[in-house]
Amino acid sequence: MAMLQGSVEVGNLLHGEYDKEEAAEEEKEGAAEGEEEAAEEEEGEAMDEENQEEEDGNGDEEKGMANNPIATHAGAEATVSLSADGQTLVYTPNARGDVIPDFAHVGFKGDLVPLPTDADVIVRETVEARPQPVPAPARFECGTHGDDTARIQAAVDKVSALDLDAAGFRGAVLLGSGVFCVSSTIKISASGVVLRGSGGGGTVLRAAGHRQYTVVDISGPGKPSNRKEVSYSWKTRHYIDDAYVPVGSFSFSVTPVYPRRKTVVWAVGDLLVVERPGTQQWIHDVGMDRIPDCTPPLPGRKCEQWTPRRYNMKFERIVTAVDGNKLTLDAPIVQGLDPKYGKARVYKAASYRISNVGVEHLSIVSDYSHPTDETHAKNGIVFEKVMHSWALSITCKHLVFACTHIDKRAKHITVKDSTSLAPISKIAGGRRYAFSVNGQLNLVTGCHSDNGRHAFVSGSIVAGPNVWANSKATNEFADIGPHMRWSYGQLYDNIQGRQMQAWDRGRYGSGHGWSGNTIVFYNCEVFDDGDTGLPINDGNSHRRRRRRRHGFTVSSPVGGANYCIGCKVHTPPWTGDPRNYQAKVPACCGKGGHFQSNGALRTDIPSLYDMQLAIQKRDKAATSLGR
């Protein structure tokens, strides 16, 4: 493995125009940061702008797409198969050279090691539950029991002030068995802190705040100068030289943007940001500058054609090898980088996230006053400026939005063996996203959502890869999959639900358009869980579940591909009905998605993620032994 030694060197300013060039670049960088912040604010608003027609079903069926015939995939797409000896995977590329990515680089420590145990993170502070008052306090009141938020926060702060041990942990705050009344957010803002319940359902955080809020928020302060979670300078900017970087690639060649300046010397372990520009040409080619029937104003909402500035996507990777100007990365590229849409750029970066934070073995239960109440706890746990952290064995009940939400600023988070039950809200947009992921390199596994809308879901413009595995959704009101505006590189592996989609959502919401690219549904199963018009089983007896199409809908955009491999619909006698496996041709600029092995789970590779992870662990073990 080649590695170049050295540090960032700065060349002499030999020419007066170079000073002007630097000043111009600094001005552009500042303007770009302002545009990014504005785009983030727009995205937050967009989550609440989903159209009413989605609430009650597919409405008039994806206007502009409904009359298209069910399409079969045209042209050979990438495939993955088991090698003859059964020991590895064979990735067959498509005509562009794209392959189905290796997703086994996600979650806490890349999922290469188990989550820390009680023995790994010792208890430094214990908070016992107080006896429950009799009679029980009214809704949204802690009563004579008292509010426990300050007690828990004080214990968290005390552990946060301790030194880190050799493994990167400060210690755990143990909450005893019983009910803790929490009326505001518990904040963890230092690395190496674990908030641990007593397990077995014995520790309950009763969310009694009479407003929307997050019960546990995990976020570092960011860089002192600008509070950002990752920082980089235009001075380190390089262009990617390759004529095309295919999906699934782990390497590319770079050249400095400013050749007169002595440039960055890359080294193994460097954090870099890969920026894939959003351009008007790309938006035109994928049809998102002419979304049908998206001419504002529309009644009660705004639908907007896509504009370039929102779609500059940034992927974070670690350099694992350097060979001249060729960089090899720790995780694959999940969006083809084509210079006809503008040269992709690479920056040397620094992360300012906290790490090694966990929340585990507890329940979060919100008070509420009626079945559609929304003035109560919104989220159970939110991960923000944090990496290599986890939520384990969490049960959430009666929340408005998410049991766990992984923000855009978070990466390498694992959510494991957790459950979202009986959310309380209207059945409408921006609600009931049980296990929501907006960051990159994250893993949700072994989880269950009941009565959610989008149980396993990403928001808009989400960098990948991300994985949802071995999880199920029951009694859902909407689909599983990327929700809107071109999310990248997602694997849904052994997921059970009643509808899964990766497609062009057109004018839905604020102009959602293409929901994602490089989306893989693998050995997923759809069950009809009683969608017969009976009352919804969440207390909203005045509402009846409308019949929604169940099954898989997958379309592929221009220059990209989405997949459904080993997908099965369990709805006799229609298990093999092609209408349940729709490779739908979009209204513009794309084709039907790639289906393989419809109606039959793949038994040669029962789990793509598990197989990819096993191979990665084996290869790393061999490398460490010098083989």
Over 50: is that where the pLDDT of 342 sits? yes
Report which of residues 378 and 55 the model is more confident about: 378
Over 50: is that where the pLDDT of 271 sits? yes
Over 70: is that where the pLDDT of 20 sits? no
Over 70: is that where the pLDDT of 329 sits? yes
Q: What is the pLDDT of residue 13?
A: 26
Q: Is residue 20 part of a domain?
A: no
**Distance of alpha carbon 424 from alpha carbon 18, whole angstroms:** 59
Q: Is residue 405 part of a domain?
A: yes
Split at pLDDT 50, 70, 90, the class of 298 is low
Over 60: is that where the pLDDT of 221 sits? yes
Q: Is residue 358 part of a domain?
A: yes
Q: What is the pLDDT of residue 75?
A: 53
Q: What is the pLDDT of residue 577?
A: 67
Percent of residues, the chain, with pLDDT higher than 90? 70
201: left (phi over 0), alpha (psi -120 to 50) or beta: left
Over 50: is that where the pLDDT of 72 sits? no
Q: Is residue 66 part of a domain?
A: no
Q: Tens digits of per-residue pLDDT, 513-570?
A: 999 999 999 999 998 755 433 334 444 433 444 445 679 999 999 999 999 999 999 8
Q: What is the pLDDT of residue 575?
A: 56
Over range 127-143, report the average pLDDT.
86
Q: What is the pLDDT of residue 625?
A: 66
Tokens read off for 204: 């309950």
Over 60: is that where the pLDDT of 509 sits? yes
Q: The domain that contains 420 carries what CATH number?
A: 2.160.20.10
- C-alpha dihedral, 339 to 341 to 347 to 351, nearest 10°: -130
Q: Is residue 469 part of a domain?
A: no
Q: Is residue 364 part of a domain?
A: yes
Do the Cβ atoms of 457 and 420 come closer than 8 Å?
no
Q: What is the pLDDT of residue 510?
A: 85
Report which of residues 22 and 384 the model is more confident about: 384
CA 56 and chain centroid, separation:
25
Over 60: is that where the pLDDT of 177 sits? yes
Q: How far is CA 388 from CA 65, 151, 442, 618, in A?
A: 41, 27, 9, 21
Do the Cβ atoms of 498 and 477 come closer than 8 Å?
no
- The domain tally of the chain equals 1
Over 80: is that where the pLDDT of 41 sits? no
Q: What is the pLDDT of residue 214?
A: 98
Question: What's at 463, amino acid-wise?
Answer: A
Q: Is residue 24 part of a domain?
A: no
For residue 401, the enclosing domain spans 118-221+354-441
Q: What is the pLDDT of residue 583?
A: 86
Split at pLDDT 50, 70, 90, the class of 381 is very high
Q: Tens digits of per-residue pLDDT, 427-441?
A: 998 999 999 999 999
Q: Is residue 608 part of a domain?
A: no
Over 90: is that where the pLDDT of 508 sits? no
* 130-134, 142-146, 210-214, 531-535: range with lowest mean pLDDT: 531-535
